[in-house]
Amino acid sequence: MHLADAGATFVEGQEVKIHTPSDATRLGIETVYQDLALCDNLDVVANMFLGRELADPGGVGPLQELDMEKQALDVLAGLQVTTIQSVRQTVAALSGGQRQSVSISRAVMWSAKVVILDEPTAALGVAQTAQVLALIKQLREQGLGVVVITHNIREVFEVADRIIVLRLGRRVATFRHDETTPEEVVGAIMGARRQAA
């Protein structure tokens, strides 16, 4: 994790310091990494609870498998993820879109307020991409803040309300989706247009 070298971070109007990924998680900020950070040999439930497994009171004894399965099913149903046949199948057996759905569901399962998605449709086919974009829209409809990092301009205009362009590590432009065009955004990306950030 890289710490900010300038500026301030505010969560719900309060300035906060984020030094570790755990700090961000405690503040309700979850990240879905481009590589998804899933364990192929574990099933969907185990991946959704990885590192946060439910155990008997006191933390000893067997895991509460049925409770974890029910919670996983509830989260998937709440996000309208219908393409996963069984939450007990291994992640290795899932398609790219299904894996992305598991990773996003895991992020929102823990009372996230903001979900950061890094290249969520990279290397996905057309149908899988549509599935992930629908899931992003579902997150927004449920009131979550969603930050999508992508190079795909078409997808940006499909899911974004606000578009921020970074060039050489600096913000060079900020657009409202309904007040700009793909050409204008691409111009900012290429450096042909610079807007006061």
Q: What is the pLDDT of residues 14-70, one digit of tens each?
A: 999 999 989 999 999 999 988 888 999 999 999 999 988 988 777 677 888 999 999
Asked if residue 189 is part of any domain, the answer here is: no
Contact 146, 136 (CB under 8 A): yes
- The pLDDT-based confidence of 196 (bands split at 50, 70, 90) is very low
**Three-state SS at 9:** strand
Specify if 180 maps to a domain: no
Residue 152: what pLDDT?
93
Q: What is the pTM of this model?
A: 0.85
Are 57 and 13 contacting, i.e. CB atoms less than 8 angstroms apart? no
For residue 172, being part of any structural domain is answered with: no
Strands 14-16 and 162-167, how do they pair? Answer: unpaired
pLDDT digits (tens, 9 = 90+) for 156-172: 999 999 999 998 888 99
Residue 148 resides in a domain: yes
Residues 96, 104 contacting (CB under 8 angstroms): no
Count structural domains, the chain.
1
Within a domain: 170: no
122-157 per-position pLDDT tens digit: 888 888 899 899 999 999 999 999 999 999 999 999
67: CATH: 3.40.50.300
Length of the chain in terms of residues written: 197
Query: Is residue 52 one of the residues assigned to a domain?
Result: yes
* 155 in a structural domain: yes
Segments forming the whole domain that contains residue 23: 9-160
